A and B are shown apart, each in its own frame.
Chain A
Amino acid sequence: MKYIKLITTLVLTLVVFYCLNTKLGSVPPIGKFLNPVSGVWQNDTNEDISGNVTIKGLLAPVTIHYDTQLIPHIFAENDTDLYKAQGYITAKHRLWQMEFQTHAAAGRLSEIIGNIAIDYDRSERRRGMAYGAEKALEKMQNDPEAIKFLEAYRDGVNSYIETLDEKTIPVEYKLLDYKPERWTIKKTALLLMYMTKMLAGGDDDLEYTNALRKFGKDRFDLLFPDFFDVNEPIIPKDTDWSFIDVALTPTPQSELPLDSIPETIEKPHPDNGSNNWAVSGAKSTTGNPILANDPHLGLNLPSIWFVMQLSTPEYNAMGATLPGALGIISGFNNHIAWGETNATRDVLDWYKIEFKDATRTQYKHDNQWKNTTVRIEEIKVKGAKTILDSVIYTHHGPVTYDHTFKSDNPKAGYAMKWVGHIGGNNQRPFLELNSAKNYNDYVNALKTYTAPAQNFVFASTEGDIALWIQGLFPNKWKGQGKFLMDGTNPEHDWQSYIPQAFNAHVKNPERGFVSSANQHPVDENYSFYVFNDGYETYRNRVINDFFRSKDKFSVDDFKALHNNNYNLKAAELLPTMLKSMDVTSLSSQEQEIFNEVKSWDFNNDIEKVGPSIWRAWWYKLYPMIWDEFDSDDEAMTSPFTYQTIYLLNNYPNDPFMDIVDTPEKETANDLFLLAFKAASKELIDWKSKNGDYNWQVYKATRVGHLLQGLPAFSRFDLPIGGDANIVNATSETHGPSWRMIVEMSSPPKALGIYPGGQSGNPGSQYYDNMIDDWAAGNYYKLNFMQNADASGNIMATQTLTPSN
């Protein structure tokens, strides 16, 4: 009896131990997690930001002042110490995010969240993300100084990791029950790939190929023109391109493969985009140029940006950094200011590969059989067996789709050609910008930048404004890369690149301002082939109209423009829709909704119901028009909004307006009514469930935690207007992830804010403290300290001292 009881209690004890010490499903190891001595309770603390910290390998002490927004102002004696300190301080506030984003880039999420991430990880491996990072590091080896700085940053991050123990590791590690690994310079390269994928990893070549096959060339060209009928390009239309003495690549006589594929890998979110602009001194109320930037990226916590001031005796820069990368990315120094928007160029193409046999060791190119290489991808999975995935590489790039992945033919595949695989030292240009003093320094800094291509806006205290569209762009023949290409035909390869000096740019234009909002970079007169692969068509026109509306602009005008909610898209279609409606056919409830939207002024402000009705109506209308594109067997993408509205206004009786599944022949007017009735029904249902559908609650903007939007660590229903395609580009999950305005006085005066907080710790008051002010359209004055002895607005000071 004694023994039975003993054994029973022993088993019971072991079971309790196991259950409380092990992560079960999504429940963290609950004993370990809730232990107040070292578990999650220990993360319920504010910031520890004063005193002395000793760091191995520093050459001299580094002073860090924190201001009241928890923005660190780093003063170092030399560059190596500066980047070491940047690594240390960034890790101190954002370590988990840095590691998570680079794991995501490398296709290593299964390692920490288990088998639900396997498909995602395979996509990233087959996209060649780590391959691209390795290529980038190869290129960076030619720049030993950059490598030295990357290593200093790495050592700084690792110095911080070494201080961590069970108790102090960030809360997400405790939740998922794993440990941080050491930072490497490859992780910085991976972070740059993460940005390259986000901003230059999109294309619709395979979808376009399917549409071309299905509808024929004439119909395709109507739906997807290279240029829309309106074009307000980034580089003004009257630009003289006669200095370009390199010819467009001639178009070869050849056939395109018209293959079809049922499904493609995930593409970057269409709401990724940005605005930037600058006015010259002559157009500014103070006589100083003013510059603004607001990148529209995923609204996440921790935020993609971390604001810092980086200073050495040689230069002094401030602005938004990307945790994981060195230097300031969007910011200013004592002489210049700069900011980016995405250049959205087609730098990703697909080639059909013909293998010799099912072993896939050789493929056909230029009438020869050439050897493939294989990269064995090892995907570790938490709580399950490691998965091996063999990815075949050709000279084009990785064969992303083959019979093991989203395709079915063992003797064929589709290879990706991507600028992200060419490699480039894309860290160096930012370091150069940080210390640039004038226009020439800015131009020189950008020269070697390859990807993701950006529209770099510029302003200087000397009075110059400029905008270069910089990246590595293939010099394509007309039509090249719009569709799947023939991987056996060498004429289908990228033949050459546009020489950097011929990248489109503008300096001090007569109109007194430069701007970009992801629109078409140029008009038809530019010497190289640039087709519309998803250019924005609304924000740019509102911005440029604004700058043409009067002679001089102030910082307050800039703020107003950032927060401008004018919905040009609705303004270009809604009047047609309203006019077409036969009001007598509407029920009284529907009439009420009709009258609400009729009295709307096209501003997407939070208290209005007009924007909600417009959206509900448009969301019903758009798929009705493009029902021809519904397909389970072929990957398809329906036409862009601008062209859709153009057809509705100009070709209301086009056969595409017909709903294929009904016996009637619908026209645009029929669709307006059908869509309105469907939208009204939805709005009425919505109202009965949630109450009034004003724009704030109907849109429900949220800032979600990076880890699958964990609600506990996210913010919901933010009171902010705007939407995609509006200058205030705040949709549900995307929006101005950083807003900056810099006036080029000496020293420059700057404002900045972002939807998050400087701390990555959900237990800190600085985790999400800027969100409310951001939503309200407020800004913080950035405290640009001129030296380490500066005072005022300093919350705490920390000194990093050498340990040797």
Chain B
Amino acid sequence: MSKQNSINFVVTIIIALILSQFLPWWSVMVAGFVSALFFSLKKAAVFFVPFLAILLYWSVYAFIVSSVNDFTLAKKIAVLLPLGGNPYVLILVTGIIGGLAAGISALLGKQLSMLAGR
């Protein structure tokens, strides 16, 4: 992982962490977008670095919240969605959804930063 990739990865998580305290779920889209504006990446990394950053952030967050309660509700939501009642699959899906949102908005950020000539 290049230095720029690592910086983008960490910055995305930090921005998401801060913004999510007072913004709705799309704070992760803002995080992906902003870090792409300032820490421009190349090729697939533009999408995948923020994708993985938020996948990690949301999955770990979900795991921490739910594990103290023995995944009681997570197991039920994993029936509802339906994911075979497996809470770990639900955690992964949660991460992927967040990551996807962040990765896509990062693509937009990258295009804007190129337009600005960075």
Contact = CB atoms under 8 A, between A and B. Distances in A.
A12 B73 contact: no
Given A21-B26, A166-B24, A765 B104 contact: no
A44 B26 contact: no
B73 A44 contact: yes
Contacts of A5: 111
A122 B116 CA distance: 58
Given A9-B111, A44-B73, A37 B20 contact: yes
B101 A44 contact: no
B40 interface: no
Given A41-B65, A44-B74, A710-B80, A20 B112 contact: no
Contacts of A10: 108, 111
Contacts of A765: 72
B69 A45 contact: yes
A44 B90 CA distance: 13
Contacts of A38: 20, 24-25
A292 to B, nearest CB: 33
Given A16-B104, A712-B77, A32 B69 contact: no
A44 B25 contact: no
A36 B77 contact: no
A35 B74 contact: no
B94 interface: yes
A171 interface: yes
B94 A34 contact: yes
Q: For this complex, into which size category does the number of interface residues on chain A fall?
A: 35 or more
Which of A10, A13, A38, A44 gathers the greatest number of chain B CB atoms within 10 Å? A44
Contact of B100 (A16, A36, A46): A16
B71 A13 contact: no
B107 A13 contact: yes
B7 interface: no
Contacts of B108: 6, 9-10, 12-13
Contacts of A763: 69, 72-73, 76
Nearest to B79: A712
A36 B61 contact: yes
B62 interface: yes
Interface string A171-211: 10001000000000000000000000000000000000000
A17 interface: yes
Main secondary structure, interface of B, reads: helix
Given A31-B26, A32-B25, A44-B65, A711 B79 contact: yes
A13 B106 CA distance: 9
A175 B81 CA distance: 11
A13 B94 contact: no
Most buried by A among B20, B77, B108: B77
Interface string B62-102: 10011011011110110110100000001001100110110
B9 interface: no
Nearest to B33: A13
Contacts of B107: 9, 12-13
Contacts of A44: 65-66, 69, 71-74
Contacts of A13: 29, 33, 104-105, 107-108
Contact of B115 (A6, A35, A43): A6
A39 interface: yes
A2 to B, nearest CB: 6
A2 B69 contact: no
A222 B26 CA distance: 69
Nearest to A14: B108
A764 B61 CA distance: 19
Contacts of A744: none
Interface string B10-40: 0000000000110011111100010000000
Contacts of B104: 9, 12-13, 16
Interface in A1-58: 2, 5-6, 9-10, 12-13, 16-17, 20-21, 30-32, 34-46
Contacts of B93: 34
A712 B77 CA distance: 7
A526 interface: no
A713 interface: yes
Contacts of B98: 31, 34-35
Nearest to B32: A13
Contact of A41 (B20, B29, B62, B97): B62
Contact of A17 (B29, B66, B76): B29
Contacts of A40: 73, 77
A27 to B, nearest CB: 8
A171 B73 contact: yes
A44 B94 CA distance: 14
Contacts of B65: 36, 41-42, 44-45
A704 to B, nearest CB: 14
Nearest to A763: B73
Interface in A574-596: none
B76 A31 contact: no
A17 B108 CA distance: 13
A31 B101 contact: yes
A233 interface: no
A578 B118 CA distance: 91
A716 to B, nearest CB: 11
Nearest to B114: A2
A72 interface: no
B13 to A, nearest CB: 13
Chain B CB within 10 Å, residue with most, of A17, A20, A762: A20
Contacts of B48: none
23 contacts: A2-B111, A5-B111, A10-B111, A12-B104, A12-B108, A13-B33, A17-B101, A20-B97, A34-B97, A34-B98, A35-B58, A36-B61, A37-B20, A37-B25, A37-B61, A39-B25, A40-B77, A41-B74, A42-B65, A166-B24, A761-B73, A762-B72, A763-B76
Closest 6 CB pairs of A and B: A763-B73, A35-B25, A712-B80, A44-B73, A36-B61, A712-B79
